[in-house]
Amino acid sequence: MSVAPLLQETLFKRSQQKKRTSPLNYKERVFVLTKTKLTYYEGRPEKKFKRGSIELSRIKCVEIVKNGGGIIIPCQNKYPFQVVYDTNTLYVFAPNQRSRTLWVLMLKQEIQNNAGVLMKFHPQFWLEGLWLCCRQADKQAPGCEEYNLFGDISRKPLPPIPGEEDNRRHGLPPIPQDDEDADEDEDDEEEGTGEEEVVVAMFDFPGLEPHDLKLVQGGEYVILEKCDANWYKARNQYGEEGYIPSNYVTEKTSGNLVQYVWFSKDVNRNMAEELLRKEDKEGAFIVRDSSYPSTYTVSLYTKSGSGDGGPIIKHYHIKQTQGIPRQYYLAEKHLFNSIPELIEYHRHNGAGLAARLRYPVGKKHKSAPSTAGFSYDMWEINPSELTFMKELGSGQYGQVRLGMWRAQHKVAIKAIREGAMYEEDFIEEAKIMMKLSHPKLVQLYGVCSQQKPIYIVTEFMQQGCLVNYLRQGRGSFSLGSLLSMCLDVCEGMEYLDANSFIHRDLAARNCLVNDALVVKVSDFGMARYVLDNQYTSTKGAKFPVKWSPPEVFNYCKFSSKSDVWSYGVLMWEVFTEGQMPFDQSLNHEVVTMVTSGHRLYRPKKATPALYDIMELCWNNRPEERPSFSELCLRLSDILEDDVLPSTRLPRLLLVAEGRKEAALNSCQKLPFVAVPLYFSVFNTGKLLHVSAAVHRPLLLISCFRTANTNRQHALTLNQLS
């Protein structure tokens, strides 16, 4: 007997620490939701890999976890939600906001008839013997915030959704039913089993301090302790122990593609094409994440596939079979149990591809990432270890110079002018900022705070600030290159948002470009400490006027949504190739114009769809602006521009309350969304669907792209009542 899954995805879970001596750790697991159970597996959804299961009838609460304290989450997934059952709480971490919303919605729908649904719950983590939300020290203490299963929607059962079974099961294989363990207790896998976590080094790490452990690319290491998100304590094959940067290693599991030379996780379609053209070899290829969840793309370069004899780049989606065990294929006649086996086969056989996969283009082009500080718990840098070189520029903080740390690491050194910052406050904040580490953030290595002037030591970005880079290359950028720049910044901002960090001064001047032409966000959070008239209103609040939304003008209210407004202006800067926004207006004139509804014009290089995104960022109401997670998805979709098979996940039309119509190019990927009454859906001006009247202003719409065309269709699933 088999049970069809409602949802299936690889997520992270935190150990539940049912015993006081249980370790706190995070594990990657394949989660499967059926009509009766939430089950998780190690590697693949088969009985022998099962690690835990929760009967849905025992669940009392499912909700997102608010990370209001800015707790650093020591795993790559930063979007937590909680499943409360019996006397336990399972914390699960999704890769993005869309994934988390989907899991929470689906779980809530399945538990809505449970008798023991909580009246109150804890909205924040249980950590180190305390509930962070209410500071209660009893793990079984009653909740501190009212819990309403569907927000302002009643707990009355939802009516069945037409075609629900087909839509939910779409693309997911059946899961074997474990008849003999229907009453199995859940989650005893990580409670001190003694299982060692083995990782593989992706880069060399020399070890910069005596307590560090040297890493050799390809070497295997045992993790002894995850000190924080950025540094682990590890042991090598010789028994030597020390600290290693977490972003230099990857878990050694059969399903982890990061360990392979041909896989590039953070490469989008445009970047892949640039790398392949630069390599200019027949059969050069990259395996990369697709812009669609849990799918991968093979990008292949060939000189023999086009009619005119010129080189072309083909993008193939790695497909999966529907049965158990799941198999992978590029050509239907050739099935494999794993993606590495598939790649190895096609390195020797074209088998339906434009060429053999001959030359992997991946990590050999990838330099080692920056580390969060030069070593674990090292944020104060001795100024005698710095060598000052040429001046790079100056800003509101002071002079910036190229430098060397210990004569071997290039760094940027900012000398803070006396009186330019609230220094003591900033130094405290810098300790937190150092723990923020992401490929699209300029890494803060440390500070020299024991003398005047204070020095801030950061990652060196060879191409300088984004606005100058745009101006110097004006006229030479392709649409794809400009869009990639915007996506880089958006990914950095999505990470800051996930860690409850507000930038407050997002603009092209505060983004930097490295030699690989990756754009990174810089100077996040520093605007609060600047003493500069350009950042000061008449009320004394500090903000860059031409990048700020009305709520900052009027109430000095900063949030992630004020950063979203600034991001829209940054997009405008990118697509004008470095022009100054509102260049003919003074700051006080800009305040009047923006408050009265005036917005920046559409740049010539921006398509209407891209300008639509800018306008969404400039919505007068902060709550109606998209999140950075949503923006990343929209930009990725435009950049990818692939025609996927009909087995792809459904697309979601996301519309602000009060809107009466929208174009399908604003689709998202979650299967559910609330839209207003009598809503009209258009595609290239043609009406595709008009909703029926419903009791509440809520209607669920999914949009699909067909297998062989680029046309999109709307499908009404159901109304919520």
Check if the beta carbon of residue 494 is closer than 8 Å to that of residue 632.
yes
Is beta strand 197-201 parallel, antiparallel or unpaired with respect to 130-131?
unpaired
pLDDT at position 607? 92
Name every residue whose Cβ is closer than 8 Å to that of residue 287 and which is 6 or more positions away in sequence.
257, 260, 262, 263, 264, 296, 297, 298, 299, 318, 339, 343, 362
429-433, 440-444, 521-525, 657-661, range with greatest mean pLDDT: 440-444
* Percentage of residues of the chain with pLDDT beyond 90: 39
The model's pLDDT over 196-231, given as tens digits with 9 standing for 90+, comes to 788 999 899 999 899 999 999 989 999 998 888 889
d(CA 706, CA 713): 8
Four-CA torsion 411, 415, 421, 424, nearest 10 degrees: 80
Q: Give strand ranges (E) for 134-291.
A: 145-146, 175-176, 197-201, 220-226, 231-235, 241-245, 249-251, 263-264, 284-289
Based on the domain organization, do 291 and 347 belong to the same domain? yes
DSSP state of 401: E
User: Pick the catalytic residue: 212, 289, 488, 505?
Assistant: 505
Based on the domain organization, do 8 and 118 belong to the same domain? yes
Report the candidate in 238, 226, 239, 236 with the shortest Cα–Cα distance to residue 205: 236
The model's pLDDT over 302-344, given as tens digits with 9 standing for 90+, comes to 987 655 667 889 999 898 886 667 788 987 778 888 899 999 9
Residue where a domain terminates, one of 596, 613, 636:
636
Radius of gyration of the chain (CA): 26
Based on the domain organization, do 318 and 432 belong to the same domain? no
The model's pLDDT over 466-505, given as tens digits with 9 standing for 90+, comes to 999 999 999 999 999 999 999 999 999 998 888 778 888 9
d(CA 132, CA 136): 8
Q: How many CA atoms lie within 13 A of 629 on its CB side?
A: 17
Q: Is residue 508 part of a domain?
A: yes
Q: Is residue 193 part of a domain?
A: no
Residue 276 clears pLDDT 50, i.e. is over it: yes
Q: Name residue 360's amino acid.
A: P
The model's pLDDT over 358-369, given as tens digits with 9 standing for 90+, comes to 999 875 557 788
Q: Which two tokens stand for residue 226?
A: 């995850």
Based on the domain organization, do 419 and 548 belong to the same domain? no
Based on the domain organization, do 445 and 486 belong to the same domain? no
Name every residue whose Cβ is closer than 8 Å to that of residue 301 and which is 6 or more positions away in sequence.
276, 277, 279, 280, 281, 282, 283, 284, 285, 311, 312, 313, 355
DSSP state of 508: G
d(CA 673, CA 254): 36
Residue where a domain terminates, one of 602, 636, 670:
636
Based on the domain organization, do 65 and 166 belong to the same domain? yes
d(CA 642, CA 612): 20
Structural element, H or E, at residue 339: helix 339-346
Q: Does the active-site annotation cover 505?
A: yes
Residue 543 clears pLDDT 90, i.e. is over it: no
Confidence grade of residue 105 (pLDDT, cut at 50, 70, 90): confident
The dihedral built from the CA positions of residue 108, 109, 110 and 115, taken in this order, carries a sign that is positive
pLDDT at position 634? 87
Q: How far is CA 601 from CA 366, 434, 552, 573, 616, in A?
A: 38, 38, 21, 11, 14
The model's pLDDT over 661-695, given as tens digits with 9 standing for 90+, comes to 444 444 443 333 344 433 444 433 333 333 322 22
Please state the length of the chain: 721
Q: Which two tokens stand for residue 517?
A: 């032409």
Which of these ranges, 247-256, 332-341, 387-396, has the smallest mean pLDDT?
A: 247-256
Based on the domain organization, do 653 and 632 belong to the same domain? no
pLDDT at position 292? 63
pLDDT at position 4? 72
Based on the domain organization, do 626 and 692 belong to the same domain? no
Q: Which two tokens stand for residue 256?
A: 């982890």
Based on the domain organization, do 394 and 493 belong to the same domain? no
Q: Name residue 496's amino acid.
A: L
CB atoms inside a 10 Å sphere around CB 157: 10
Check if the beta carbon of residue 384 is closer than 8 Å to that of residue 404.
no
65-79, 115-129, 132-146, range with greatest mean pLDDT: 115-129
Q: Rounded to two decimals, what is the model's pTM?
A: 0.64
Based on the domain organization, do 603 and 476 belong to the same domain? yes
What is the rounded end-to-end Cα distance, in angstroms, of the chain?
34
**50 annotated as ligand-binding:** no
Q: Is residue 397 part of a domain?
A: yes
Q: Is residue 523 part of a domain?
A: yes
Give mean pLDDT, residues 348-359.
89
Q: Is residue 223 part of a domain?
A: no
d(CA 6, CA 483): 35
Mean of per-residue pLDDT scores for the chain: 78
Report the candidate in 350, 369, 360, 171 with the shortest Cα–Cα distance to residue 257: 360
Domain that holds residue 707: 646-719
Give mean pLDDT, residues 254-260.
77
Q: What are phi and psi of 56, to 5 degrees?
A: -60, -30
Q: Is residue 370 part of a domain?
A: no
Give SS3 for 133: coil
277-281, 510-514, 696-700, range with greatest mean pLDDT: 510-514
Give mean pLDDT, residues 430-440.
83
CATH of the domain at 312: 3.30.505.10
Number of domains the chain is built from:
5
Report the candidate in 274, 292, 293, 294 with the shortest Cα–Cα distance to residue 284: 274
Q: Is residue 47 part of a domain?
A: yes
Residue 436 clears pLDDT 70, i.e. is over it: yes
Between 420 and 72, residue with greater pLDDT: 72
Based on the domain organization, do 475 and 610 belong to the same domain? yes
Tokens 């193939």, residue located:
316
Q: Give strand ranges (E) for 227-317.
A: 231-235, 241-245, 249-251, 263-264, 284-289, 296-302, 312-317
Tokens 């580490």, residue located:
437
Based on the domain organization, do 164 and 27 belong to the same domain? yes
pLDDT at position 484? 93
d(CA 281, CA 273): 12
Report the candidate in 117, 110, 106 with the shortest Cα–Cα distance to residue 84: 117
Residue 154 clears pLDDT 70, i.e. is over it: no
Q: Is residue 374 part of a domain?
A: no
Residue 432 clears pLDDT 50, i.e. is over it: yes
Residue where a domain terminates, one of 327, 361, 395:
361
Residue 142 clears pLDDT 90, i.e. is over it: no
DSSP string, 685-710: TEEEEEPPP-SSS-EEEEEEE-SSSS
pLDDT at position 404? 95
